[in-house]
Amino acid sequence: MRKTGLLFTLFLSFLFLPQLLVAQSDTTKKHTDSLNTILLSEYNKKISEIEKQRQSDSLRRANLEAQLMRLKTTDNLKKEELQSKLESLNDKEKFRLAEKKLRIDALRSTAKSFPVMGMFSDTLFAIYSNHGSFSARERASVITNRIAKISDQFGFKADSIKVIENETTTDLVMGDNILMSISENDAIWNNTTKTELAKTYKKIIGDAIINFQNETSLETLAKKIGLALLVLVFMGVLIFYISKLFNWSEALIRQNKGDKLKGFNIKNYTLLDTQKQINFFVSINSFLKWIIILLFIYLALPILFGFFPWTKNFAETLIGYIINPLKKMGRGVWDYLPNLFTVLTVVFVFRYILKGVFYLKTEIQRGNLKISGFYPDWANPTYQILKVLLYAFMFVLIFPYLPGSDSPIFQGVSVFLGVLFTFGSSGSLSNIITGLVLTYMRLFKIGDRVKIGDVTGDIIEKSLLVTRIRTTKNEIISIPNSTVMSSHTINYSSDTVDNGLILHTTITLGYDVPWKKVHQTLIDAAGRTEFLLKTPTPFVLQTSLDDFYVSYQINAYTKEANKQAKIYSDLHANIQDCCNENDIEILSPHYRASRDGNMSTIPAQYLPKDYEAPSFNLNIKKD
């Protein structure tokens, strides 16, 4: 079914493509004719004026020649006068011919001709000038029709066309019919004489008619139809075996499922599973099959058109559709080679400049190269900035050498993308600039424990757009750099290694507890807490004396800023244990206890074994 449809498509193409090409050719021809009419209109006006003067001079010359014939031989003075006038007219005629030739030469490079067409729509020769009331286009059309009429005459011979000289023209005549008249203007346009041009046209017309009759004879047409049928049969067989070959390759692809075709994986990611991979190769196989079939059909059409004289020009046109773009592409690549070498040279130079900058960046990061006032953590962002600037400068250098860079469309697209980027990334650009500022401010680095606004956690990523923090609850929070810049930031880790971080917590106790005992108890609790340093020694500050209690603040040093949650939890537990061991009840801030019959708030394991709750005290007074 597919093969039948394909052959039917080929048959339709063979039938209708010549008509389409003829219509296209006619449209182009009409457009060209209108342009030629405009170009030749001024020329024809000037030639018309010169022609009128020539006719007037011709009449005067004939009159003078008649007077000379009537003069007596002894009348020498009158004869010399008439002879002088004739020579003057002859000189004027030479000047006229020279002026006409100059005008035609001036138009030769711009004006286009109107073709006289042969029987196979081929151009036999061209007509430039008008003649009498006929324009150049009308002359070409009339001559074409006259040649077409005599081409049907049986037994035509080239000698049957005669060249006849007239007073102002040289005519090509066949029998009683004038094929065309060749004027002085026609001869000048072709840089020859009227007689020589007539002989040339006679040979062209005779050869074209004989060739047409030979090409359109029944015997010749029968042979060419037979050859065309052979080509069609060959193409049908070729398409059949091409389809069979690709059907075999498709079956081979399906047979290798799970054997050679096991899917396509990139590390642990499956880009194509087995079935998708098979479908992909089957699609490629089908695509190649139809591309090859259509290519063979396209190449067969010029062969078929080349058999018949009416469509021989179409064969050249079809071949030109392939050859001309390829020539244009090849010529474009060849012409672009100097610019390409320039672009490659610029890219090569900048590539090694970037390698040198990268080497310096690596050395500074590793600490091998030290620059006063330049910190190692500045190396990578500085390298990224220089990289962008170098790439931008490289693009500016190579932009004039890119193909199409000077075209209005290319420039318009560039401006549009620039405007789109500017308005669409205003917020992003703000974050990028802020990110660069934060980098060089050195507020924090990866791994630091910080507090930004109300968020506390460890820095896990710094980019040009956002800063990411992992909280103590293992939450990942992304904060735009512009927000970081506008918020207050606390860095717990920046000075911890050198001076230590002071952790502190507050406990409130009543005035009945001696403050010296409380100080020692809190220092002992800090000493028991893991990750709190013994040196410098922990210390206690009394931060306030309130109405019912005193606020005691224990301060201790640590170098583990990222473990604050655990340290605080252990410190609070140790404070409770040490207070219980030292018989200190934590009754604050809003807790009251009565000792008349109530147990102590201290856990039982910290109380003496013989401890008993005090009894109630009652005092009774009699009046």
Residue 542 near residue 552 (C-beta atoms within 8 A): yes
Bigger pLDDT: 545 vs 607: 545
Name the token pair of 35: 């342009």
CB atoms within 10 A of CB 609: 5
Three-state DSSP class for 303? helix
Where in the sequence is the domain holding 580, given as residue range(s)? 496-592
Q: Residue 504: its pLDDT value, please?
A: 95
Three-state DSSP class for 555? strand
Q: Residue 413 pLDDT > 90, yes or no?
A: no
Give the tens place of pLDDT for each residue, 222-250.
888 888 889 889 989 999 999 999 999 98
- Helices 426-441, 408-424: axis angle to 10 degrees equals 60
Residue 514 near residue 541 (C-beta atoms within 8 A): no
Same domain membership, residue 142 and residue 201 = yes
Q: Residue 321: its pLDDT value, please?
A: 76
Name the amino acid, one letter, at 311.
T
Three-state DSSP class for 451? strand
Residue 242 near residue 216 (C-beta atoms within 8 A): no
Ranges of H-type helices in 442-540: 481-486, 496-499, 515-528
Bigger pLDDT: 501 vs 9: 501
Which residue among 168, 183, 216 closes a domain? Answer: 216
Residue 9 near residue 296 (C-beta atoms within 8 A): no
Most confident range (mean pLDDT) of 15-19, 150-154, 497-501 is: 497-501
Bigger pLDDT: 68 vs 280: 280
Which residue among 491, 526, 557 closes a domain? Answer: 491
Q: Residue 49 pLDDT > 60, yes or no?
A: no
Residues 619, 621, 623: CA angle, nearest 5 degrees: 170
Contacts of 572 (CB under 8 A, 6+ apart): 505
Same domain membership, residue 588 and residue 500 = yes
Same domain membership, residue 225 and residue 210 = no
Domain of 463: which CATH number? 2.30.30.60
Residue 573 near residue 480 (C-beta atoms within 8 A): no
* Residue 79 located in a structural domain: no
Could you give the number of structural domains in the chain? Answer: 4
| Neighbour-count burial of 498, counting CB atoms closer than 10 A to its CB (0-12 exposed, 13-18 middle, 19+ buried) | exposed
Distance CA 37, CA 42 (A): 9
Cis peptide upstream of residue 589 (ω within 30 degrees of 0)? yes
The alpha carbon of residue 529 and the mean position of all alpha carbons in its chain are separated, in whole angstroms, by: 66
* Residue 301 located in a structural domain: yes
Helix (H) or strand (E) holding 506: strand 501-509
Mean pLDDT of 383-406: 85
Same domain membership, residue 527 and residue 444 = no
Bigger pLDDT: 68 vs 275: 275
Q: Residue 95 pLDDT > 90, yes or no?
A: no
Percent of the chain topping pLDDT 90: 21
Q: Residue 80: its pLDDT value, please?
A: 67
Name the token pair of 360: 């310096």
Residue 540 near residue 553 (C-beta atoms within 8 A): yes
The torsion angles phi and psi of 469, rounded to 5 degrees, stand at -125, 140
CA atoms within 13 A on the CB side of 44: 17
Contacts of 170 (CB under 8 A, 6+ apart): 163, 164, 181, 182, 194, 195, 197, 198
Q: Residue 534: its pLDDT value, please?
A: 92
Same domain membership, residue 458 and residue 523 = no
Same domain membership, residue 125 and residue 206 = yes
pLDDT interval class at 151 (50, 70, 90):
confident
The alpha carbon of residue 618 and the mean position of all alpha carbons in its chain are separated, in whole angstroms, by: 101
Instruction: Output the pTM of the full model.
Output: 0.44
Residue 399 near residue 405 (C-beta atoms within 8 A): yes
Which residue among 269, 290, 307 closes a domain? Answer: 307
Give the tens place of pLDDT for each residue, 502-530.
999 999 998 888 999 999 999 999 999 99
Q: Residue 535 pLDDT > 70, yes or no?
A: yes
Residue 174 near residue 209 (C-beta atoms within 8 A): no
Bigger pLDDT: 429 vs 186: 186
Name the token pair of 517: 């005992």
* Residue 368 located in a structural domain: no
Name the token pair of 212: 């047409």
Q: Residue 492 pLDDT > 80, yes or no?
A: yes
Same domain membership, residue 179 and residue 254 = no
Q: Residue 429: its pLDDT value, please?
A: 65
Same domain membership, residue 243 and residue 187 = no
Q: Residue 553: its pLDDT value, please?
A: 96
Q: Residue 330: its pLDDT value, please?
A: 85
* Residue 100 located in a structural domain: no
Give the tens place of pLDDT for each residue, 328-367.
888 888 888 888 899 999 999 999 999 999 999 899 888 8
Mean pLDDT of 51-64: 61
* Residue 122 located in a structural domain: yes
Same domain membership, residue 212 and residue 223 = no
Same domain membership, residue 300 and residue 253 = yes
Give the CA distances from residue 194 to residues 140, 166, 176, in Å, rounded to whole numbers and listed in that order. 17, 11, 21
Give the tens place of pLDDT for each residue, 420-450.
656 655 566 676 777 677 777 778 888 899 9
Nearest one of 512, 529, 540 to 568, comparing CA atoms:
529
Chain-wide mean pLDDT for the chain?
Answer: 78
Same domain membership, residue 208 and residue 124 = yes
Give the tens place of pLDDT for each residue, 449-471.
999 988 999 999 888 788 999 99
Domain of 503: which CATH number? 3.30.70.100
CA atoms within 13 A on the CB side of 5: 3
Bigger pLDDT: 381 vs 241: 241
Bigger pLDDT: 311 vs 541: 541
Nearest one of 158, 193, 154, 196 to 179, comparing CA atoms:
158
Residue 150 near residue 174 (C-beta atoms within 8 A): yes
Same domain membership, residue 546 and residue 534 = yes
* Residue 401 located in a structural domain: no
Q: Tokens 């220092």 appear where?
A: 523
Give the tens place of pLDDT for each residue, 241-298.
999 999 999 888 888 777 777 777 776 766 677 788 888 888 999 999 999 998 888 8
Q: Residue 564 pLDDT > 50, yes or no?
A: yes
* Residue 455 located in a structural domain: yes
* Residue 334 located in a structural domain: no
